[in-house]
Chain A
Amino acid sequence: MNSHNPTDQELVAHTLRDRHAYRAVVERYTQRLEKYLRRLGADEELAKDILQESFIKAYINLNDYDASLSLSAWLYRIVHNETVSHFRKARIRPEPVRHEKDLALFDTIPDELDIVAEADAQSARAAVQAALDSLESKYRDVLVLRFFEEKSYDEISDILQIPPGTVATYINRGKAKLKSAIRHSKAIDKQ
């Protein structure tokens, strides 16, 4: 085993023999999972709580980890389910927090959708952000995973546990809904 840069599978195998090896798994994934949680609408405190519970759950279920999946997708799945469960219990709609990097990424979505070419960057960002937040969670989830977490369709399928074809459908519909919501908000702005 390469002790300097062990693979995820090696880390899992090591953790099953020695609990302390789990520290390396946690440290490898904490930062990106925390960003993901913040994008799903958790504040810093809640993100820490959900992360802690998710990592504990992952550890307890470590023997259920399927090596044909990436460890990343498996952990994202646990974090996603834990977050959905939290918001469902609390009966609140999450308000996603946008990072500066996210705001820059918002520029790429309008370009791809070819919808706000005439708009200035700032209003486009605000429009996309508001539109994305207004989408149903099934569309928002796939768009966040695709555009902000840069996950492949297969990874999104593994994270959300839906067929890859459904992922593609949700992305296409989500983009169309996003486009429509942005147009709608721009029309309101013009009035």
Chain B
Amino acid sequence: MKDLSQDILTELESRGASPKPRWYFVAMRALFWLLSAVCTVVGGIAFSVGWYVFFDNDGLHVTLGNILQVVPYAWLIVLALFVVCAYFGFRQTRKGYKYAAPLVIVLLLAASGALGLVLDNYDVGQNVHKYLLSHTDFYDGLIYSSEDAD
């Protein structure tokens, strides 16, 4: 290993290598933070729609008989996917690895939930739900709505 340092300098020279600029790394980190934030927001929207579908679906009453049907599984899956995606974004940030996965996932779920409740206050969940019902063919089949109960 005697001449390793010289070998490395020669190799750097021959490859024309130079340090990547600092802004590149700053941009990469920002991108992962952004990914994590966007996924948390989408998770929040999923939560607000799920919340609306479960508790306030045009007067649909949740009873012991229909509770398993009313659970908005599709939105729970969307929420889970985006929380996992938010976790992977966070994991790639500079100190993301320092935090245990279960803790980060619980905090992201809580953030999505809190945001979802705020969005529900502004009827975002209801609007997304109604928009999807009237503009897509597949959505109605995924959700147990008040019409299904009739």
Binding site for B on A (CB under 8 A): 16, 19-20, 22-23, 26-27, 30-31, 34, 48, 51-52, 55-56, 59-64, 66, 157, 161-166
B8 near A34: Cβ-Cβ < 8 Å: no
* CB-based contact A66/B94 at 8 Å: yes
Classify the secondary structure of B's interface with A. helix
Could you tell me the distance in whole angstroms from the C-beta of A8 to the nearest C-beta in chain B?
16
B20 cross-chain contacts in A, Cβ below 8 A: 60-61, 63-64
Counting chain B residues whose Cβ lies within 8 A of the other chain, the interface size class is 20 to 34
The contact string, 1 if C-beta is below 8 Å from chain A, for chain B 1-38, is 10011111101110101111110110000000000000
> Which of B25, B99, B100 is within 8 Å of A64, CB to CB?
B25
Interchain CB contact (< 8 A) of A163 among B5, B6, B13, B97: B97
In the complex, which of the residues A52, A56, A163 contacts B17, with contact meaning CB atoms closer than 8 Å?
A56
A54 to chain B, nearest CB (A): 10
A51 to B99, CA, bound (A): 29
The answer to whether A59 touches B100 (Cβ under 8 A) is no
With A26-B4, A26-B5, A48-B1 as contacts: A19 and B12 at CB distance below 8 Å: yes
Q: How far is the CB of B57 from chain A (nearest CB, A)?
A: 41
B135 interface residue per 8 A CB criterion: no
- Return the chain A residue nearest B2 by Cβ: A30
Residue of B5, B8, B20, B24 contacting most chain A CB atoms (<10 Å): B8
